[in-house]
Structure 1
């Protein structure tokens, strides 16, 4: 019996509070097994297709190592390696890959693409990121919060910056599902789409999560247990860069904004990569262009004692391993664990 067996992991709203908590806790368990060098080859003999339309550091590394740790063989299929979307439709690609692989990861642009892969492949499909959602990141993020605070329900998470991107969407909905109070601090034009807000508010009715959208960054972070930010310009986004930077500079996570929480225990999270210094080509170019030393987060807080960004990054591995093992590993996960919970 496995409650999750053969299910796809496409977006957070598809899962109940109990199911999300299980994946977070299972991720913590698998992390301990790895630290203790205890083998856990739940996917022995399986083959996993890793489809990447977008470049990646953490997602690609995490899926590759997770598959290997679980005893599976991961096969990387980049946008130039297969005919995906160019000479062959997503549906045809799904049918072919589903006949050869036991599971498929997809990282790319349209949510519709990952949904079609899941519908037509016949195997579990895992969303490694789309323009709308980033669900594997969520399991890692809330793992990090649970490791730090020992619980999730009742915590307050503030996200500042571009609230309309996949991170704003995912954090809003997942926090609402898990009973974590969520604050989004963004300019009016960059606040989450009302459809996403409605999904979160519906979830919050059951969990007791408090949802706040504000244009005031200091109000957003006041009393927060964690501050989260992300890059201001998403991959492939065509925008007026100067206007975006000007609009978001008041939302930069720096020592002043961190102090505005009024707490010494607040932690900092970022899904990475981060433009916190001039050690990247893009970061250096943007900083020279706009005469700033950092963009969404300053180096002093990014590398400061309250930052857990690299623990969070490592947790991508354990979170992804949890999702893959639960949905493909023939584990004993009885339905009764979830019957009485939301």
Structure 2
């Protein structure tokens, strides 16, 4: 049980949690993982109902919520995007109050965080951000768990994120770094740096004393001595915009074997929130081969921990649901 209880609370961004609360969620997730490996299922959520509202595509997050809920004895119900007419056929407030009467917790994936915040304001039950354009907190909880599992102390860990400096994952990584004492380097092309106001808010006087942020467009600077290299897609696949134009500035930021050697370490691990474009086995990569974010030899190499991350989504989400419900 958390010393700093978050029972009944929602998770919209990682700024909602303290350093201690994040640490305890990770510790509990590691315990839940061990229990599952031993086929031990306490089923603490038996007779609970979990609403899963995905207004945009999802693989890992939706599956993780479903399996985590089922493991603990809860019943997950997935809504198709067209079933809930947020703001078109019915107000967000009214839908939130209905869902809150039916479900004990609600996960929402939406384009805008504001919709998730409004549901959380009126539902009366915990609401979890399952990704928005601005934040991806459940992803980064799994990232932190994976880093710790690899014997890296989060306080003082050196993490180099290579990619777009304004994406939802990097925003959540910044929040986590500021809370947990991580030395975070954002290696990003000119013009894609995080907003100064966000940097000031997260890395101001209230940050963890070990936290550090470097924003650079020079891979050599950002990757030096990094224990973790973190990759991500450079654009949303469903953006509807010119992919070639959007990725033009990223061509020198593909995570290659040469880039991994820039760390100067032989124990650096690769994290990737997935999906990754690392070969020509997807229609997207065949149509846009210049948008591949990771070299296949690195992705298929021995230092890749992306699939541990994907599994750990389930364990951290389970810990989150148990702590908040």
TM range (shorter): over 0.9
Q: Does 1:308 align with 2:290?
A: no
Higher relative contact order (CA 8 A, sep 6+): 1
Give 1:55's aligned residue. Answer: 57
- TM-score, normalised with respect to structure 1: 0.91
Give 1:327's aligned residue. Answer: 324
Q: Deviations over 1:250-292 (max 9, x none)?
A: 11101010001100010000000110111111121111xx4xx
Check conservation: 2:6, 2:323, Cα contact below 8 A.
yes
Gaps of 5+ in 2: none
1:203 Cα offset (Å) = 6.5
Check conservation: 2:54, 2:79, Cα contact below 8 A.
yes
Alignment of 1:133-144 (within 5 A): 133-144=135-146
Check conservation: 2:244, 2:288, Cα contact below 8 A.
no
* SS of 2:271 mapped into structure 1: strand
* SS of 1:268 mapped into structure 2: strand
Check conservation: 1:217, 1:250, Cα contact below 8 A.
no
Aligned Cα RMSD in Å? 1.5
Q: Does 1:161 align with 2:163?
A: yes
1:246 Cα offset (Å) = 1.9
Give 1:275's aligned residue. Answer: 277
Residues 85/78 of structure 1: CA separation in 2 closer, same or farther (3 Å cut)? farther
Gaps of 5+ in 1: 329-342
1:84 Cα offset (Å) = 2.8
* SS of 2:293 mapped into structure 1: coil
- 127, 144, 147: which is aligned to 1:145? 147
Q: Distance in 2 between matches of 1:121 and 1:235?
A: 31
Check conservation: 1:177, 1:203, Cα contact below 8 A.
no
- TM-score, normalised with respect to structure 2: 0.96
* SS of 2:251 mapped into structure 1: helix
1:235 Cα offset (Å) = 5.0
Q: Distance in 2 between matches of 1:228 and 1:298?
A: 13
1:172 Cα offset (Å) = 1.3
Greater shift, 76-85 or 22-31, is seen at: 76-85
Q: Distance in 1 between matches of 2:154 and 2:205?
A: 15
Check conservation: 1:173, 1:199, Cα contact below 8 A.
no
1:226 Cα offset (Å) = 0.3
Give 1:92's aligned residue. Answer: 94
Detail structure 1 runs of 4+ shifted over 6 Å in the superposition. Answer: none
